[in-house]
Amino acid sequence: MKTYFLLLGLFVGVACQGQSAHNKPTSPASKSTTMTSDTTNLSQLSDADWKKRLSPEAYRVLRQHGTERPYTGEYDQHWEAGTYVCKGCGTPLFTSDTKFDAGCGWPSFYQGIDKSKIKEVIDRSFGMIRTEVRCAKCDGHLGHVFDDGPNPTGLRYCINSVSLGFEKKQP
């Protein structure tokens, strides 16, 4: 069953690469969740330490380069104003101003807050060549970036919700 969901998620992720992007104007209420940034030397954390800091699903995605099932993540259809941060370390990664609905089942952004906060790595898994997106601070797997996004960048950062926390914009 686990293999079925992995293959389904992979198929939908690849299939949605050609989806057109359009903004979603509605903003349903959603709870705010974030991982508080601390001064822990993240490179010193063991797998056991990461397992204590993260939920099992967040550990599987962030530390083992997994993928959550499409259309199941908390932030796929989340439209509140604020900042999306890395669930592993609290680093600010994306703003709600750059989020759009790609129709692929995962939160999508056309650019990050700062290029130095995101690391891109060639991913040759599953017989494909893609660009993996990782948090530059904790090296957590976030998702992948594709070149089928909207203007002004033409990019689509397809990110796992479970890899993210959210900090609501203060009025």
* Residue numbers annotated as active site: 158
SS3 content of the chain, % helix, strand, coil (to 5): 25, 25, 50
Dist CA 138 CA 56 (whole Å): 17
CB 90 within 8 A of CB 34: yes
Dist CA 141 CA 62 (whole Å): 4
